[in-house]
């Protein structure tokens, strides 16, 4: 990603586009004071001041909580509000606060030193995780740490100075509170050295519709302060000192993108369907206990990730805690189906509340359903909470990382056991709750016809399925050429799954990244998909793309792609399709 090449009219830096758009403006390079990057120090105070220092720390915690509550109430978007609410929960973590207080009282560490040490330990743990959803918590930890340190030092938390002209902000990284303080009237683009498509910067930039590129190493050093730059967050390029022709070209790109967004917005509240009226179910993926999308925009919650419950606790969440969250989501869904995916973590996604043994090859180790079957006390707690919630709305269970029919049989046996226990205790639940599997392991995909006889539905996780089909770690940048989500093997496997479940009149939903890509959604419809679930930000684009093709045209497109020999040829066929 970090290439630097000389073109005829300026230096070009390349990175990863994380929020589409284009803009030409002067660069504003943020001066990084490095507060959140400092290593833990060991500054100590004199004996006898233990109580004074501990009280100072807890006053800082109280002030930080109040600031975050204020930010959450005044957030410019629901996404921002959720992030600040999650940060406030970090400051309510009893174990984290206790460890800091203990370091102050027993080791006489000054509050700032104790904060740095304990937060560094948490950050180190999360940095080892490959799951983007969990790894993104590092930004929250850094943001909360910086806020506490600023309060302890009596300083201001805001690092971005007031601006007088339109600029492209260049920074090492941006934390959520930085994004909340952005001067949207003047900041027209963002360039960062760190982060990826699932970072908070990317998520918030997309929600604010600010063009952004990440992964340009040394950007704060290589981009001079005040230089004119053209940012193309579609191609992932930044041109320094563009000429007039280049400036006009990027202005046109931005105009076209804005026009497309206005066009797509017209479809947002319409039902999902092809041009000839073939209905496509439109679902949303959510990673917290909040449904923040207007009801007319989606048909169902296709994926409720429950890992967030475990990320926010230093001990596994109780049955009652989980039940309350599931009940809340069902209430917000207002009668629509909610697909609850049971705990999906493993050796590569260790959490503070779960002590898991280190594995040499965690992607092929104890994760997903395998882990739940190995830790029945955790699995039973979650199943009981979910079953109790099923009495209040249309809830269905989804088991992740299923690799065999034996695992399906074992999962159903544990559900029956949970039902028996609830019945004996007088709890209500839905005895006919639907149970499905995530298809993301090739072994179960190849026997989709047999699996379809044992479950009520399936969801395809295209991200992991592509990873296992191509034997390439999707989180490893060096494996980019080998991780192929649109390979001929993937397309043939997807068609096989759709056909097997359709023959048994069982629904299949696609909830991976392919479902949220407009071109991918049309291809999936042609291969046999009738339900798609995605990040809410993708709904408009996918609905618009589907509305421009008939189902027959989508099938013809899929048929041509199935005859091609390489991913490059398939992507070329998609790009060249008249609907795009």
For residue 181, indicate whether it is catalytic. no
Helix (H, G, I), strand (E, B) or coil at 223: coil
Q: 441: closest CA among 381, 527, 370, 360?
A: 370
Q: Which of 372, 509, 511, 561 is catalytic?
A: 511
b/e for 221-241, b at 16 or more Cβ within 10 A?
ebbeeeeebbbbbbebbbbbe
Which residues, at least 6 apart from 368, have a Cβ–Cβ distance to it below 8 Å? Answer: 344, 345, 346, 399, 400, 401, 402, 438
Helix (H, G, I), strand (E, B) or coil at 281: strand
SS (H, E, C) 139-180: HHHHHHHHHHHHHHCCCCCCCCCCCCCCEEEEECCCCHHHHH
Residue 427: both structure tokens together:
């709890």
* CB atoms closer than 10 angstroms to residue 411: 23
Angstrom CA distances, 25 to 112, 234, 259, stand at 39, 17, 20
Terminal CA-to-CA distance of the chain, rounded, Å? 26
Which residues, at least 6 apart from 197, have a Cβ–Cβ distance to it below 8 Å? Answer: 16, 18, 132
Residue 223: both structure tokens together:
């981009």
Cα distance between residue 580 and residue 577, in whole Å: 6
Cα atoms found within 13 Å of the Cα of residue 574, Cβ hemisphere only: 23
Scanning the structure block, which residue is given the tokens 């045209």?
553
Q: Which of 200, 313, 372, 561 is catalytic?
A: 200
Contact between residue 260 and residue 244 where contact means Cβ atoms under 8 Å apart: no
Residue 336 CB burial class (10 angstroms; 0-12, 13-18, ≥19): middle
Residue 539: both structure tokens together:
């709904």
Cα atoms found within 13 Å of the Cα of residue 117, Cβ hemisphere only: 20
Helix (H, G, I), strand (E, B) or coil at 350: coil
The dihedral over CA atoms of 275, 276, 277, 280, expressed in degrees to the nearest 10, equals: -60
Contact between residue 459 and residue 436 where contact means Cβ atoms under 8 Å apart: yes
Scanning the structure block, which residue is given the tokens 């594995």?
359
b/e for 184-202, b at 16 or more Cβ within 10 A?
eeebbbbbbbbbbeebbbb
Which residues, at least 6 apart from 55, have a Cβ–Cβ distance to it below 8 Å? Answer: none
Q: 280: closest CA among 537, 576, 523?
A: 523
List active site positions: 200, 511
């Amino acid at each position: 990603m970090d290439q630097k090449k000389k073109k005829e009219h300026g230096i070009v830096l390349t990175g990863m586009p994380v929020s589409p758009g284009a803009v030409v403006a002067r660069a504003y390079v943020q001066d990084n004071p490095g507060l959140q990057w400092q290593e833990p120090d060991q500054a100590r105070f004199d004996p006898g001041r233990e109580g004074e220092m501990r009280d100072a720390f807890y006053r800082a915690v109280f002030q930080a909580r109040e600031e975050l509550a204020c930010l959450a109430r005044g957030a410019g978007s629901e996404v921002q509000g959720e992030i600040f609410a999650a940060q406030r929960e970090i400051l309510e973590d009893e174990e984290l606060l206790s460890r800091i207080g203990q370091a102050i009282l027993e080791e006489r560490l000054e509050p700032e030193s104790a904060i740095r040490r304990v937060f560094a330990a948490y950050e180190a743990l999360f940095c080892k995780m490959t799951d983007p959803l969990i790894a993104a918590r590092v930004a929250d930890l850094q943001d909360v740490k910086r806020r506490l340190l600023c309060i302890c030092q009596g300083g201001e938390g805001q690092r971005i100075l007031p601006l007088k002209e339109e600029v492209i902000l260049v920074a090492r990284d941006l934390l959520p509170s930085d994004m909340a303080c952005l001067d949207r009237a003047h900041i027209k683009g963002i360039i960062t050295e760190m982060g990826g498509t699932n970072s908070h910067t990317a998520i918030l930039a997309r929600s604010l519709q600010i063009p952004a590129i990440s992964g340009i190493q040394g950007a704060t050093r290589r981009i001079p302060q005040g230089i004119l730059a053209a940012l193309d967050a579609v191609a992932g390029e930044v041109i320094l000192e563009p000429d007039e022709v280049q400036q006009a070209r990027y202005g046109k790109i931005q105009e076209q993108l804005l026009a497309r967004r206005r066009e797509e917005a017209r479809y947002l509240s319409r039902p999902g369907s092809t041009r000839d009226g073939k209905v496509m179910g439109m679902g949303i993926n959510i990673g917290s206990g909040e449904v923040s999308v207007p009801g007319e925009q989606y048909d169902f919650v296709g994926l409720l990730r429950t890992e967030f419950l475990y990320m926010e606790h230093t001990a596994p969440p109780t049955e009652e805690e989980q039940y309350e969250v599931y009940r809340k989501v069902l209430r917000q869904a207002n009668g629509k189906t909610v697909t609850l995916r049971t705990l999906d973590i493993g050796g590569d996604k260790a959490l503070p509340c779960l002590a898991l043994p280190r594995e040499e090859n965690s992607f092929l180790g104890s994760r997903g359903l395998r882990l739940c079957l190995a830790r029945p006390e955790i699995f039973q707690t979650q199943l009981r909470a979910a079953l109790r919630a099923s009495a209040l709305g249309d809830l269905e269970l989804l088991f992740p990382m299923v690799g065999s029919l034996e695992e399906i049989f074992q999962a159903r046996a544990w559900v029956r056991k949970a039902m028996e226990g609830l019945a004996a205790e007088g709890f209500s639940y839905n005895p006919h709750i639907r149970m499905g599997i995530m298809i993301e392991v090739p072994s179960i995909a190849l026997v989709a016809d047999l699996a379809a006889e044992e479950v009520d539905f399936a969801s395809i996780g295209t991200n992991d399925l592509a990873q296992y089909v191509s034997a390439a770690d999707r989180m490893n940048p060096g494996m980019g050429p080998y991780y192929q989500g649109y390979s001929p093997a993937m397309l043939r496997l997807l068609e096989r799954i759709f056909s097997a479940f359709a023959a048994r009149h069982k629904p299949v939903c696609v909830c991976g990244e392919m479902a949220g890509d407009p071109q991918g959604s049309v291809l999936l419809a042609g291969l046999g998909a009738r339900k798609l679930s995605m990040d809410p930000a993708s709904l408009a684009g996918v609905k618009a793309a589907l509305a421009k093709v008939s189902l027959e045209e989508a099938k013809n497109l899929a048929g041509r792609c199935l005859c091609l020999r390489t991913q490059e040829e398939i992507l070329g066929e998609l790009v060249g399709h008249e609907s795009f």
